[in-house]
Amino acid sequence: MGEAVNGSRISQEEIERIISLANNIASEDNHLKLIEIAKQSSAHADHVAKCAVHVLREEKNYDKCTEVLIALGEIGAAHLCGSLRDPARRKISKEIIIKIGPEKTANQVVGVLRDPECKGVVKEILKEFGPDKTANLIVGALASPEQREAAKEMLIIFGPDKTANLVVGVLEDPERREAVKEILKEFSPDKTANLVVVALRNPKQREAAKEILLKFGPEKTASPLVAALFDPEQREAAKEILLKFGPDKTANLVVGALRDPVQRGAAKEILLKFGPEKTANLVVGALRSQAQREAAKEILLKFGPEKTAHFVMGALGDPQCGEAAKEILIGFGKQNIKSVAFKLMRALAEEERRDAAVEVLSKLGPPVLRSMELFKSTDSFNRLPLFRIIRGNVLAAREHNSVGHDFRVNGPAANCGRPGNMRPNTLRRAL
């Protein structure tokens, strides 16, 4: 009757001839005859491969069987993969599969990962083939519960250089997502962080990518995450991760993002949520950069004077950011005049900051004169600056007298009456 394979038929007589030639494959040119028979149809090739694999058990047949199976390519590989289950033929089959090469065998080899008896030898073969020809197939095997563990192990062995891009690409597949997360967590973030950050763009990959990046930690991911603030599709997820990392390892990079108009809004939000304790000094440093200055001023004013005035005071003598520091301190004075005035009074003792402190105190207006600390803490070397401050406030008072403002003060200056009516001798007594 014969048999049919893939739509092609082979007669019983032909089958018996193939068996006979295979049993005597080591004789003369029988192996060449088998190769010629295999060319007739897929049914013929299938039977030739089956018989060649069967007689591999005998060592004398090894060379000729190898030649036949290599000539048969994928059909030969399919039967060789099946023979990996047989301990007697496993080693020889593995060697021939490797000789045939990954182009014609990798698909069948990866398919055998589902067989518990063959996983060990299959992994050995795949290591020999390397990732270039097999990684894509192995990533596909992650979808199969039977193949998944062995596929994960192989991808981890191959490492991120040749596989990370493929692995990240299937994060959106629910069947493979958990396996992919496990693999990426095993990879070094040096090699994969940028790829995972890019995955934040894809809504189907985003949650898994966030989980992986949090696992990686800020040391290797903060920089690409800050860069991702530029991209509207990544921005919210990047902000969320940076906030979870906290300021210790990220604030410096986030402050740097204040330079970029596109990143600036997100960077300000992050820094304000971080708070002044870990970031105020960095934000004050950003006052030196023209591109960062306005955003830094806005952040510092929102932080308020309690945790930041000390750092801003340090910038008063800086030629690059002294003017910005004065503006901020004037803003702070409107929030807490007593605290800011006291810090400015102490700066009067320092020559490099004295003029700036006088200017700020003068611009804070008459509320400065109501602060007792201005006078209680005054040493003799502060008296001339104080005269300039009060004179500045007197001038400000004269401008406001016409609208009925009350500028009465407490302490030694109280005898001066309304500042607009101060006389020089009375002013001297106040000092």
Q: How far apart are CA 422 and CA 391, in angstroms?
A: 10
**Segment 99-111, tens digit of pLDDT:** 999 998 999 999 9
pLDDT grade for 229, boundaries at 50, 70 and 90: very high
Q: What is the pLDDT of residue 58?
A: 86
Give me the residue spans of the domains in the chain: 138-216, 243-335
| Residue 10, strand partner residues | 3
Q: What is the pLDDT of residue 3?
A: 58
**Segment 321-333, tens digit of pLDDT:** 999 999 999 999 8
**What is the token pair recorded at 210?**
């966030």
Mean pLDDT in residue range 215-235: 95
Length of the chain: 431
**Segment 168-179, tens digit of pLDDT:** 999 999 999 999
pLDDT at 260 over 80: yes
Architecture in CATH of 243-335: Alpha Horseshoe (1.25)
pLDDT grade for 428, boundaries at 50, 70 and 90: very low
Q: How far apart are CA 200 and CA 205, in angstroms?
A: 7
Q: Which residues contact 166 (CB under 8 A, 6 or more apart)?
A: 135, 136, 139
**Segment 348-404, tens digit of pLDDT:** 778 888 888 888 888 887 666 555 444 454 454 455 555 555 555 545 545 544 444
Query: Is residue 339 classed as helix, strand or coil in its secondary structure?
Result: helix
Host H or E run for residue 5 = strand 3-5
pLDDT at 430 over 70: no
Q: What is the pLDDT of residue 363?
A: 83
pLDDT at 429 over 80: no
Q: For all residues of the chain together, what is the average pLDDT?
A: 85
Q: Which residue, 301, 397, 300, 313, is CA-closest to 357? A: 313
Q: How far is CA 387 from CA 366, 427, 428, in A?
A: 14, 8, 8
**Percent of the chain scoring above 90 in pLDDT:** 64
Q: What is the pLDDT of residue 380?
A: 42
Helices 102-111, 87-100: inter-axial angle, 10-degree rounding:
140
Mean pLDDT in residue range 89-97: 91
Q: How far apart are CA 123 and CA 129, in angstroms?
A: 10
Q: How far apart are CA 52 and CA 19, in angstroms?
A: 9
